[in-house]
Amino acid sequence: MPENDPCGKALASPKGELDPETVELLWQLFVKICDRWGNVPDSGTMKTRFLRFLSNRIKMNPAYLDHYRKAVKEIERLKQDTQIPDAYEHLFTNPEANNPPIQSSLQIARQLVSNEFISLQLSLGGFKEFTGAINYPGYIAGWNGDGPPPYRIPSQP
């Protein structure tokens, strides 16, 4: 099983693999998150870590193969729906999609896929835009060495 597959050709678990198109569509969703909130100057720099995340999710829980496939299908369905002006905006904002329990494909796409990508994106640096902070729970900011600490400190120490 390829543990990490930075090329994104196929992300596999013993129960199967994600085909490259699905991986690409998931990446597009991640990029849409970056675009909608405008909180990442260059999402491309996050691609390797994003693919590793997908691989880790599937490794931890092979059910994610199914979740990812369903999410991609659901986004395609939203795109086809003429009543919905913007598929991604619908996914990010529809309040029902965020309600428990997770049953429908829309809820899977929002809660198990899009929401998790948001948490990942913040932990990779997306938080900075909102508060100007330099650290955030989940972000690997660096150690408390001789230099300035890897987080904001009081203005008057």
Which residues are at the interface with another protein (CB under 8 A)? Answer: 37-39, 53, 56-57, 59-61, 92-95, 98, 114-116, 118-120, 122-123, 127, 129-145, 149-157
Supply the minimum distance, in Å, between the C-beta of residue 62 and another protein: 12
Closest CA to 55 of 14, 12, 103: 12
Supply the minimum distance, in Å, between the C-beta of residue 152 and another protein: 4
Closest CA to 129 of 53, 36, 46: 36
Beta carbon nearer to another protein, 103 or 131: 131
Supply the minimum distance, in Å, between the C-beta of residue 4 and another protein: 9
Beta carbon nearer to another protein, 21 or 150: 150
Beta carbon nearer to another protein, 87 or 118: 118
d(CA 59, CA 52): 10
- DSSP class of residue 111? I
Beta carbon nearer to another protein, 21 or 145: 145
d(CA 133, CA 151): 7
- The per-type count for the chain, helices as H runs and strands as E runs, is 7, 2
